[in-house]
Amino acid sequence: MRPLILSLLLCSAAAQAAPIDALKPMAFLAGHCWKGDFPGGKQSDEHCFQWAYEGNVLRDVHTVRSPGKPDYVGETIYYYDSAAKTVAYLYVENGGGYSRGTMTPTATGLDFPETQYVADGKPLTYRSRWTPSGPDAYEALSEMYLKEKWVTQFKLLLKRQ
């Protein structure tokens, strides 16, 4: 029984680990799930964030739910790329798509500069911006590059659950 209690305490301490400096701008997300509804209310988007590896990684499990359809699920791992001196991420999803990119903190939130999402060998160029909206919400704006211009893919208000 004692080893079980000790491992539970260690797991709890790891979940509460302080993030490394580079990931601190994302700290408000950690330890919470954030959910928003797409316009029309027929789809929801949920992101659940947790620290991993003693605060060296922020893990985001992402689920889009649509009535009558299988869930679209993905996972993003944010980490500090010491060679490039920036926060980088790797995103993979249950349909086989993936993307790699970076995150830059700004005075108003988190910017995810232009990168590519690849599915079935086809790239889609996109960029995103997350802007905190009080202590319990943030706005996510995603744009994609189509026909030589940036167009809004979606804009959601995600609320802490």
Q: Across residues 99-118, what is the average pLDDT?
A: 98
Beta bridge partners of 46: 35, 63
Q: Across residues 83-105, what is the average pLDDT?
A: 98
Domain-by-domain residue ranges, the chain? 2-160
The pTM of this model reads 0.88
- In the chain, the percentage of residues whose pLDDT exceeds 90 is 88
* pLDDT tens profile 11-51: 444 456 799 999 999 999 999 999 999 988 899 999 999 99
Q: What CATH number does the domain located at 2-160 have?
A: 2.40.128.20
- For residue 136, give the 3-state DSSP assignment: coil
Mean pLDDT for the chain overall: 92
- Write down the pLDDT at residue 41: 87
CA distances from residue 147 to 121, 140, 150 in whole angstroms, order as listed: 19, 23, 8
Q: What is the DSSP string of 5-32?
A: HHHHHHHHHHHTPPPPGGGGGGGGGTT-
Is the pLDDT assigned to residue 147 strictly greater than 80? Answer: yes
Residue with tokens 């709890």: 12
Is the pLDDT assigned to residue 86 strictly greater than 60? Answer: yes
